[in-house]
Copies of this chain bind each other. A is one copy, B any other.
Amino acid sequence: MKELRQAIEQQGIGIGKDIVKVDSFLNHRIDVKLATDMGQEIYRAFQGEAVDCILTVEASGIAVAITVAQAFGNIPVVFAKKSGHSNVGTDVYQANVYSFTHQQMNSICVSRSFLTEGMKVLIVDDFLANGEAIEGLLSICRQARSVPVGAAVCVEKGFQGGGKRLRASGLKVISLAVVDGIENGHIVLRKEE
């Protein structure tokens, strides 16, 4: 997606070999026009599908989940909570997710009330790196017997294995921009197909 690629090129910061920092428009400050446009773009990629609900994980995923849900005509968003600091109760589906950013294991959970059998779920997140967050959300869908129709992310780190593994499993995975690597602080974007 052109606007996202431009934002990454102009504002993104590459750190070391693998950290892509897009705090100025996605992860801390949010460019709301861009977020709204990304929601529309993800909608276009999945508009042939019946989608009942958007599933994401707090916190950075929420903004784009909202704009995707708006593009689908205001379907609900469910965001998984990171456990241990929420009053979500105990009647939950739960999965363990290793956070690449924070280098720690998090437990994420969704109340059993909000995902039901046969519900068609589109998973949305800001980043796809090793795929742990999306795997965790897929596990929660399986526990709920909901049907994941696919996953959509803003930025995929193509040099990490998550996207490849998820696609190999048969899941439809859409990313709006793919980072192929970081070279001397410069974020190298894959050419659009």
Chain A residues proximal to chain B, CB less than 8 Å: 19, 21, 23-24, 28-33, 35-36, 58-59, 62-63, 66-67, 69-70, 74-79, 81, 85-88, 101-102, 104, 110-111, 113-114
Contacts and interface: CB of A to CB of B under 8 A. Distances in A.
Contacts of A74: 32-33, 36
Contact of A28 (B70, B75, B114): B114
Contacts of A86: 101-102
Can you list the 5 inter-chain pairs with the closest CB atoms, starting with the nearest? A58-B59, A59-B59, A33-B74, A32-B69, A30-B77
A31 B76 contact: yes
Contacts of A114: 23-24, 28-29
B32 A76 contact: yes
A113 B114 CA distance: 37
Nearest to A57: B59
Nearest to A62: B62
15 contacts: A21-B87, A24-B113, A28-B81, A29-B77, A29-B111, A32-B70, A32-B74, A36-B70, A58-B58, A59-B59, A62-B62, A62-B63, A62-B66, A63-B66, A66-B66
